Structures are given as C-alpha cells and as structure tokens.
Homo-oligomer: A and B are copies of this chain.
Amino acid sequence: MSKIRHALNTRRADDFAQWYQEVISAADMAEESGVRGCMVIKPWGYGIWERIQRLLDARIKATGHDNCYFPIFIPLSNFEREAEHVEGFAKEMAVVTHHRLIADGEGGLVPDPEAKLEEPLVVRPTSETIIGDAMARWVQSWRDLPLKLNQWANVVRWEMRTRMFLRTSEFLWQEGHTAHENADDAKEHTLRMLEVYRAHAEDDLAMPVVAGEKPEHERFPGAVETWSIEAMMQDGKALQAGTSHYLGTNFAQAAGIRYQNREGAQELCHTTSWGVSTRLVGGVIMTHGDDDGLRVPPRIAPWQVVILPMLRDDDGDAALIEYCEGLRFALASQSALGEPVRVLLDDKPGKAAAKRWDWVRKGAPVIVEVGARDMEGGVVSLLRRDRLWGENGKPAFQSPARDEAARAIPAMLEEIQQALFAEARERREANVARGVETFDALKAFFASNGRYPGWVEVQWSKPTGAALDKVVADLKALKLTVRNVPIGAAGAEGACIFTGEPAVERVLIGKAY
C-alpha cells in the first residue's frame, strides 16, 4: 500500500463527484454565490479561463472572425419566429418584466407595477435570433459573404440542477455566428470551427477529444446538423466540450437574412453557430486533476512556475529573495510553448510547507522551493506537479543548480504539457470498448465494467422516428446517451446492435455530464 499522504480528503476512486467539488474548493477556483444556480469564479479559476479565452480568441481571429458585442436582452418576439429554437429554450429562460423598483411600504422593495415592460425581454440563452437580426441588416450582396462574427459574453439558462463550471444558470462563453452563400460553404465552416475546437482542446487544454456529428435527436434546437467534441472524464463519463452547428436556412428564414447572389437573384443565407464555455474549466479539472488537486496544463496555467522562498523572518531573508529573484528574472526572459514563461515569486507570509501544498492543490506545473541551504549550495528544490510523488512516497524533489533550473524549466513545461495529454489520451483509449456487437453485450459492459466504465463504440443503422425513440429510451434506462458519430471511425458492416438492420455508421455511447 502507498504511504502517500494526499493533499485532498477525497479520492477520485471513492467519490468522483465529491472529489470534483473538493478540487474546486481546495484549488480556490470558484464557489457558490448564494444566488440560485450562479457561481463566483475566483481568481485562480478565472485566471485559467482568461488563458483559455486568450488562446481560443487567437484561433478564432486567425480563421477570419471579428469580435463584436450584441445586447444581453432579446425581445420575446424574436424567439417566436423559430419554433424549434424557442421550444428548446423556453423552459429555462430568465425573463425581465420590469425596469424599476419601488418601496413596498414595509422597508422592502418590489418591482414597480407602473414600470412593467410592454414586451418582456429574455436574458439571452444564446444569440442566434438577435445576431440574425443584425445579419439581415448587414448582408446585401454575395460580396458581403461570408460574414464571420464572434462574441465573448455571459448567457443564462435557468438550470434546476447545477454543478460548478459544468452546469450553472449563468455561464461565460464565446459564440460564433457566420453567414454563407450556400450549404457547402456553411457546412465546411461548421467543420472548420469544430477542428478549431479540437485543436484548442487537445493542444491548449491537453484534453483529448472525439470530434463527430451528433445524432438527430441531440441537435441544437433549430439546427440541421450539430457536431461536437466529446472528452472522457476520469470517471468514464463524456463531457460535451464544444459544439458547432450548421443551421441551414432556418434562422436566415426567421430573421430574413437574404442576399443578392452572383446572378442577381435574392437568396437566403446558410448560417452556422458554435460555442464553448466555462464548462471547459470543469473539463480540465476532471481530465487532469488527481488525488492532490488540480494539475493545470502549462499552456493555460496563469502561473507556470511558482517560486517559494522559505523565509525565516530573519536577516537572511533579503539574500534568499534576491537569490529567488535571480531565477525569476532568468525564467521570465525565456519562452516556453511559444510565450514568455509566466513565473511568480510568492513571498507572501505563511509557512513554506503550507504554501507548497496550496500550490500543489492549485496545480501550478512547476513549484520551486528555495531554502537557505539550497542557496548555499547554489541549487533549488524543484517539484514537477505531474510527477509529484517519489517511489518512497515522498514529494519527488529534484535539486538542480539554480542556473541549470532556469535553462531546463522551459523544456520541462513543454514536456509536462505533452505528458498530461499523453496520459489522458492513453486513459481514454483504454476505456473505449470497440468489440461490443449486441445490445446485451453493451448492457453487460456497463454492468460489469466497474463504477467508471467508459464508452463503447458500436455500429448502428442510424434509426429515425419511432425506432430512434426506442433506442434513446433503452439507453436512457441505462443512463446512457449517444455521444456522437466520430469522424474517422472505422466503417460499419454487419448489423445494428439496436435494430438488427444493416449498420451504416459507428457511434460512441456512454454516460455523460
């Protein structure tokens, strides 16, 4: 048995949901706000989101999109125009009905009946309808196309059961919206943005994903095609980490987005939309966290290296800090993963060991402790967060010379980024079963494969209508859902495991967040 004394109280293997909450709290990332379904994102959690924003924003701009900003309020009538869309969101919309408060005569406040809005306003759950209005104004000719917009914003979907970062009534996201001349262009763009998400998830977040098309019954309300990236969390569940939708002419019809084509005729645009949210932070936690807290991939770590001088409140402290500053300056002038190294010298008061464990829980990729003895020897004590424990059950400190540490850390950060990705990908691959050929075998797989069973990739006949309803219901009874039809999966042959009819494609099935 391991003698390791882990930095968290809960093991992933014991209670994953509890562990997840504990990481968020122990890493000081977020907390409940007291406002129903809304969280407070604290500096370390928000710092990770800021890194995600910066990296993804660069990818979105590099693919030719302009950022802009649309109103948070959407008139009710906008929603009424696209029936499926409103059907999908009406149950979870926050509605503004008044624009003033007055005293209630008992020391409290109430909405002023005199200030009731003529038309209630919805707090945006997503912005297709309001951005569609703008596109209808902005697009006249094929020369205005493609129109490629993006916004970073908060949205609200009134959720009954919330979980921090994964499902909150208010969340932060980016939503891209584009208009094109024809279906081919729009579909190509839908897949291009899916690829942007895949690259961001895998290269920036070190989170392996499966990109594929959602089955019909899992489409975005109003979409013709919905594509997703699905990531496997350490409990084997799927996290839908991003979606990209081809909307056909549905929203163009509703908003009147028409253009004069190259032959001079009026046509409807084909539009797309795609988004990722603060949910990604939850994905990072459940992909890379361990029993000691979070491990942040270096590319999205607010601080990649934290230097902790072991201060003793005596005359030696000044020299020790100067010694640490030497390392900080040497690192800050280096680059890793294409950017200057982000290094913090944390000389706040507090016991060195307590501070070390705080940074372990937060998941800083490299932690460097420096005591008086290190300084005398010209060395530092260095801990890689991704290889925390030595074989002796103690933290696996390395003791490079200070100058050697400054030279080695940039490459080490790149190595950690790769190692976290490789570890997650291997785990994912080990937990996708591809030999499941009957529905009974599927049931057996999920019944016998432990608490965290992973996914199966099976072949099906792509049923529709009542046949699809039955598949969905049968899976729901097992708490399973069809995640997507992976791009590049093996071809199908033989029978659908649900209908017995000839199979046409392979689908991923698993539990999901």
Contacts and interface: CB of A to CB of B under 8 A. Distances in A.
Interface of A: 31, 33-35, 38-43, 45-47, 49-50, 66-77, 79-80, 86, 90-102, 107-111, 120-123, 130, 133-134, 137, 143, 149, 153-154, 156, 158, 169-170, 172, 349
Nearest to A103: B90
A76 B122 CA distance: 19
Contacts of A79: 101, 109
A278 to B, nearest CB: 9
A52 B212 CA distance: 38
5 contacts: A38-B72, A46-B67, A86-B101, A98-B120, A123-B123
Nearest to A168: B71
Given A33-B134, A101-B90, A101-B93, A71 B109 contact: no
A487 to B, nearest CB: 31
A43 B67 contact: yes
A76 B35 contact: no
Q: Which 10 A-B pairs have the closest CB atoms?
A: A43-B66, A38-B71, A41-B69, A99-B158, A95-B98, A90-B101, A35-B71, A95-B111, A97-B97, A46-B68
Contacts of A33: 70-71, 130, 133-134
Given A109-B86, A121-B35, A40 B67 contact: no
Given A67-B46, A95-B99, A102-B90, A38 B111 contact: no
A79 B100 CA distance: 13
Contacts of A111: 95, 97, 120
B90 A69 contact: no
A130 B35 CA distance: 9
A99 B86 CA distance: 14
B67 A47 contact: yes
B71 A39 contact: yes
Nearest to A108: B80
Given A43-B67, A80-B108, A98 B97 contact: yes
Contact of A100 (B31, B73, B93): B93
Contacts of A101: 76, 79, 86, 90-91, 93, 95, 122
Contacts of A120: 98, 110-111
B100 A91 contact: yes
Contact of A94 (B50, B77, B99): B99
A35 B134 contact: no
Contacts of A92: 99-100
A26 to B, nearest CB: 15
A68 B97 contact: no
A491 to B, nearest CB: 43
A170 B69 CA distance: 11
Nearest to A33: B71
Contacts of A121: 35, 94
Contacts of A75: 34-35
Q: Quick one: which of A47, A93, A154, A170 has the most chain B CB within 10 A?
A: A93
A417 to B, nearest CB: 23
Given A76-B101, A109-B86, A133 B34 contact: yes
Contacts of A35: 71, 73-75, 121, 130
A68 B86 contact: no
B72 A109 contact: no
A33 B123 CA distance: 15
Given A95-B101, A100-B93, A154 B34 contact: no
A149 to B, nearest CB: 8
B67 A42 contact: no
Contact of A143 (B50, B76, B170, B349): B349
Contact of A76 (B95, B97, B108): B108
Contacts of A100: 90-93, 95, 158
